[in-house]
Chain A
Amino acid sequence: MNATRWSLRWRSLRHRTAQTFLAVAALGAAVALPVVLLSVGGGVYAHELSSIEHSGYSISVETAGTHGISSGHALANRIDGIGGVAAASPLLSVPIDLFTTGGTVVPVLAEGVIPNAFQATQSAAERALLPSSFMLGDPSDTVHYANGTYTGASSGQLLLSTPLVQTLNISTGASIRLAPSSNASASAPFTVAGDFGLPPGFLGPSPLFVVLLPLSQLQSLVGYAHSPSGAILDEADSIQVAMVPALAANPAAVQRVAAEIQSLVPYYSVVSLSQQTSEIQNAQAVITGFYVGLSSIGLIVGLLFLVIILLRRVEQERQSIGVRRAIGVPAWLVARGILVEALGLTLAGVLAGVGGGVLTVELFARYGSGAVSEIAGLAVYDPVTLSLLGAALVGLAFVASALPVRRAMTLSLPEVLR
């Protein structure tokens, strides 16, 4: 019978098809949930960390609100003067309206940048998306800015994102107008200098309609150059700081520069990407703990279901168990039978759960809408995590089997064989 031991187990499982199916389904559902959560959650964080690791800049200067950085040009210049800094790029993002000569109005996201600093703080992959005409006629944005007077000549050039160009069917050299609201009379004229590709979205849908223009020209357009009283605002959302290549991978040098920047602007948040990485990893640990906690509820329900099924089987097979014990089958062999059955059901449940979880994620990635599809597409199936999950469930299933085993061991033989 040794050679056919597994076929006997299989026969026993088949003997109670509905119970076997229910137990495997319950355990499978319990396993699928953590597979989905941990794979997608892990994938999102891995993607986030990878994005940071491959950034072209090492330090970010930010404020709590939007457009909270004042004197963006001047501050960038001061940061540029710190030893080890390759470039400091202030960024301003504002939703505005684009008017074509044909009268079409399109809401777009305008990104104000200092072209040469912006290019220097982009990763190689991001730089590859920018056209050769990227400098927009004023590489350092000093002509129009004119030391904070904003009285210099405007280059009047901008770049459009490729999807915007395709939608509006606009070619290089075309004229368009930009305005802070749907009011063409408050608009300023620009010439399309080219188009640029969009990097993959960090998470969720990325804005497809984007225009890039010199920072000072955007500030003037939307009123972030001066206050109503005439004081210089020169606002930006953030300043990205790139280190010289020799120091970019040196955490101590990055920390030193971050500390120097912080001393310049003690009221702003100065964050190195290694700090961001650490914060993300901490957040990941917390979220993973939450996922594990959430999943454990499902796993406990699955295990309870397994125990109920096994107890039910012990009840249904009490005569068979009684006969085995009556004819002298040792108790440990009877117990082993129950444990092996629990193991078989659990392993089948784990396999079904992992398969079901992976299938669910892949279906979301393929057929989900928008952000769901994008997030599911980032899923990472870590064999170690999945193995640990399976091993933990098998271990818990063994512990949970103690109750049915005890029930089988305490059956009264005279009663069950009556």
Chain B
Amino acid sequence: MSVPDSTTIRLERVRRVYHAGEADEVRALDGVDLAIAPGEYLSIEGPSGSGKTTLLNLLGLLDVPTEGRVIWRGTPVERLAERERTRLRRTGIGFIFQRFYLLPTLTALENVELPLQANGIRGADRQRRARLLLAQVGLSDRERSFPHQLSGGEEQRVAIARALANAPQLLLADEPTGELDSVRAQQVLDLLEAAHRSSGAAVVVVTHNPLVAARAARHITMRDGRIVADSAGR
């Protein structure tokens, strides 16, 4: 049921437990409350195993909580079928992965076309939009290149273009500069910032890198599956 809600996504008392009830039970998230407003730019920091990636998976509707609620733009989604969550991801969420995850058999242009195709945008219109996005990330001249023909920085720029393809309300980036040298990392962060400004989407960046976190307006720190610090004071 949808209720008026000004947040893009909100987590309420979320717990995520793996192997529940078994000897190797892992409490990845333990009672997390988090609300992300439209247009926010926030970083999630914390040591390895603190629950950052699990939190990102829940924000991206890739996973469901063991307990608690996940509310996407006023609609509880924690009990939705995979098909519905896929639809919400398709229309509202963009992903940028540390390892880029471009499809190796598709060209740069075709990789950017992929989410547009999934959204039912056809033919010439889809190609026009994909070319525009590649132009925005400065890769007009590489549209026919395959991922193995691109540098790491170029791959991540294609991944950003792909993430922006369907004009998402939420852009999730998991260590987006983890595989890049400092110069290319800065270029990617500049692009991400520009995309944030132009699209108005909320941006969540998971990172270990203080320079990456410094670009965010709001900083969340996690430890042992809990949010231990939130610069917004919420």
Residues of A within 8 A of B (CB): 1-3, 8, 11-12, 15, 319-320, 322-331, 333, 413-414, 417-418
Contact = CB atoms under 8 A, between A and B. Distances in A.
Nearest to B62: A413
Interface of B: 53-54, 57, 60, 62-63, 82-83, 86-87, 89-91, 93-95, 97, 101, 103-106, 110, 113-115, 117-119, 122-123, 126, 162-163, 166
Given A2-B122, A413-B62, A414-B63, A328 B101 contact: no
A333 B104 CA distance: 18
Given A327-B118, A331-B82, A320 B103 contact: yes
B122 A328 contact: no
A413 B63 CA distance: 8
A328 B83 CA distance: 9
Nearest to B166: A328
Contact of B60 (A2, A8, A326, A329): A326
Given A331-B83, A413-B57, A320 B104 contact: yes
Contacts of A1: 110, 113, 117, 126
Given A328-B86, A328-B119, A417-B97, 5 more contacts: A11-B105, A12-B105, A323-B95, A327-B94, A331-B86
A324 B119 CA distance: 12
Contacts of A3: 123
B62 A326 contact: yes
A110 to B, nearest CB: 74
Contact of B86 (A11, A322, A325): A325
B118 A329 contact: yes
14 contacts: A3-B123, A8-B105, A319-B101, A323-B101, A325-B86, A326-B60, A327-B118, A328-B91, A328-B93, A329-B115, A333-B118, A413-B57, A414-B54, A417-B97
A418 B18 CA distance: 15
A329 B82 CA distance: 12
- Majority secondary structure, A binding face: helix
A330 B166 CA distance: 15
B86 A418 contact: no
Contacts of B89: 326-328
A3 B86 CA distance: 26
A7 B118 CA distance: 18
A324 B95 CA distance: 11
A327 B54 contact: no
Contacts of B117: 1, 329
Contacts of A330: 83, 86-87, 90, 118
Contacts of B101: 319-320, 322-323, 417
A417 B62 contact: yes
